[in-house]
């Protein structure tokens, strides 16, 4: 579905088309509505300077998670769009994109859909210079032009999945691990039923554990349906491979279960089924974290050609030493720019101390792994007795930016540290690949 410049009159029929279908699935109707409205608002705002609007991510693949609530649809993830501008046209600043995003979100809400819109903007040069990685592979193969030049995606180099660096899979897994931290409310009580937010994040963790694993196994595919088929093939043909970090059959069964849950949305109504609610409780989450740790360590050992018997910090230190200096400098330049070049002397000392041998990304992953892999054990000790406050403060010192201790009302604790990790991740990692 592609429109060059959507007319206002077309919008009047969209709400009716969502409910009546016109031959499409509910997901397809939602995708068309969100895409059309986004194209409309983007072209209204930027006019002839805008060359194309591209929808990417799970919504482009009709694999997003939506919930029906009081005659409305709610997107649990975000709808990701890339705006490509003509050469010579100015690319809008982040503040302008934020205003446009809010306008689009209000517009689709009037049509019965709530959700977060994510907008990025670039020139055509950006597409031409893309290099092999998971996001750009899926952009080229699964992205949909919802407005403007229908052939815009052909400008992306046609690399194969085999050309995607293994590191990209490990970084994807690490990102999903970090994203657990802003959904852990109530975990201390070891709930029989996880919150909707944590359940959704854990399902996403499983799905991208599969993405990451398949990349390392040489079987990566850009959609859930294709990944499920390849997991089933591996499960049947290589179940006893001693090189894998866990029992392959059990892992594949759990991932396929999560794929089916996400696409069918049955997990959303788990509260109506006591048995299902128990199955998707604390023990289920704890198992996911164990799988994540085994996979994360296995991949890191392969990347560094080290023994998986090394502990987490030994593997990470080996990984950090492998990274080129220019990558570290690029990452810290981004931190300094975001934090301000006129940072305090204390900040500069901290950045030099932790940055000479590691990038900001690796430091955030280091702190995240220390906390996340500890949480299942902390739950057995009333969340906090297995580590001292000094231990947690040492982990906090890995982060690029940390709050002053005197600003805290309570002594350092894993939950406050989790908030700091999330803050550093969102501020310094999400908008850069360095």
Least confident of 134-148, 150-164, 196-210, 409-423: 409-423
Strand partners, 250: none
Return the closest-CA partner of residue 216 out of 308, 144, 102.
Answer: 308
Q: Please give the Cα distance from 367 to 370 (Å, whole number).
A: 5
Count helices and strands (H / E) in the chain: 19, 5
- Bridge-partner residues for 117, per DSSP? 79
More confident residue, 368 or 21: 368
The CA–CA distances, whole Å, from 208 to 127, 134, 159, 205, 286 equal 24, 11, 21, 5, 17
Check residues 190 and 207 and name the one with the higher pLDDT: 207
305-316 tens-digit pLDDT: 999 889 999 999
Residue 6 has pLDDT above 50, yes or no: no
Alpha carbon distance 337, 352 (integer Å): 15
Alpha-carbon distances of 256 from 173, 200, 212, 284, rounded to whole Å: 17, 15, 15, 15
Q: Which of 177, 253, 173, 259 is nearest to 215 (CA)?
A: 173
Distance CA 121, CA 53 (A): 9
In tens, the pLDDT along 39-87 reads 999 999 999 999 999 999 999 999 998 888 888 898 988 999 999 999 9
Report in angstroms the alpha-carbon separations of 354 from 173, 233, 321, 347: 23, 44, 13, 11
Q: Are 150 and 42 in contact (CB under 8 A)?
A: no
Give the per-residue pLDDT at 305: 94
Please report the sign of the dihedral spanned by the C-alpha atoms of residue 356, residue 362, residue 364, residue 368.
negative
Contact (Cβ atoms closer than 8 angstroms) between residue 198 and residue 254: no
Percent of the chain having pLDDT more than 90? 64
The percent of residues above 70 in pLDDT, for the chain, comes to 85
- Among 108, 124, 102, which residue's Cα sits nearest to residue 18? 108
In whole angstroms, give the CA distance from residue 103 to residue 348. 39
Residue 95 scores a pLDDT above 60: yes
Concatenated DSSP letters of 155-178: GS----GGGS-HHHHHHHHHHHHH
The topology (CATH level 3) of 8-162 is Beta Polymerase; domain 2 (3.30.460)
Residue 107 φ then ψ, to 5°: -65, -45
How far is it, in rounded angstroms, from Cα 143 to Cα 84? 13
Element (H, E) at 205: helix 196-216
Please say if the pLDDT value at position 327 is more than 50. yes
* CA 387 to centroid of chain Cα atoms: 29
Mean pLDDT of the chain: 86
The answer regarding whether domain 165-318 maps to CATH 1.20.120 reads yes
| Start-end of CATH 1.20.120 domains in the chain | 165-318
Q: For the chain, where do the domains classified as CATH 3.30.460 start and end? A: 8-162
Contacts of 34 (CB under 8 A, 6+ apart): 55, 59, 75, 79, 108, 113, 115, 117
CA distance 383 to 317: 27
In angstroms, the CA 76 to CA 114 distance is: 9
């Amino acid at each position: 579905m592609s429109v060059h410049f959507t007319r206002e009159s077309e919008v009047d029929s969209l709400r009716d088309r969502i409910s009546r279908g016109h031959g499409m699935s509910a997901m397809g109707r939602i995708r068309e509505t969100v895409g059309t409205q986004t194209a409309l608002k983007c072209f209204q705002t930027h006019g002839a300077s805008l060359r194309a609007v591209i929808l990417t991510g799970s919504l482009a693949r009709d694999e997003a998670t939506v919930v029906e609530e009081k005659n409305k649809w709610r997107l649990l993830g975000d709808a990701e769009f890339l705006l490509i501008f003509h050469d010579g046209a100015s690319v809008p600043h982040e503040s302008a994109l934020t205003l446009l995003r809010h306008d689009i979100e209000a517009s689709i809400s009037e049509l019965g859909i709530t959700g977060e819109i994510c907008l990025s903007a670039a020139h055509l040069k950006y597409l031409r210079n893309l290099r092999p990685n998971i996001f750009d592979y899926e952009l080229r193969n699964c992205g949909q032009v919802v407005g403007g030049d229908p052939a815009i995606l052909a400008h992306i180099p046609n690399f194969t999945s085999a050309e995607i660096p293994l590191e990209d899979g490990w970084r994807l897994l690490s990102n999903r691990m970090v994203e657990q931290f802003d959904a852990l409310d109530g975990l201390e009580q070891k709930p029989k039923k996880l919150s909707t937010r944590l359940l959704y994040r854990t399902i996403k963790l499983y799905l991208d554990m599969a993405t990451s694993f398949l990349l390392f196994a040489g079987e990566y595919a850009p959609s859930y349906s294709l990944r499920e088929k390849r997991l089933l093939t591996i499960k049947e043909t290589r179940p006893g491979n001693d090189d894998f970090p866990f029992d392959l059959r059990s892992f594949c069964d759990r991932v396929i279960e999560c794929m089916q849950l996400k696409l069918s949305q049955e997990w959303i109504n788990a509260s109506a089924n006591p048995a299902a609610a128990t199955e998707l409780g604390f023990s289920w989450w704890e198992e996911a974290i164990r799988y994540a740790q085994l996979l994360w360590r296995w991949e890191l050992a392969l990347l560094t050609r080290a023994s998986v018997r090394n502990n987490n910090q030994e593997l990470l230190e080996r990984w950090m030493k492998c990274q080129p200096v220019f990558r570290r400098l690029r990452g810290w330049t981004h931190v300094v720019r975001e934090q301000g070049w006129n940072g305090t002397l204390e900040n500069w000392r901290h950045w030099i101390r932790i940055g000479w041998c590691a990038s900001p990304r690796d430091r955030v992953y280091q702190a995240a792994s220390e906390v996340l892999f500890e949480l299942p054990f902390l739950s057995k000790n009333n969340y906090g007795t297995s580590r001292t406050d000094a231990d947690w403060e040492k982990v906090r010192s890995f982060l690029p930016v940390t709050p002053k201790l005197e600003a805290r009302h309570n002594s350092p604790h894993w939950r406050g540290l989790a908030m700091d990790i999330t803050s550093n991740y969102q501020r310094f990692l999400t908008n850069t690949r360095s």
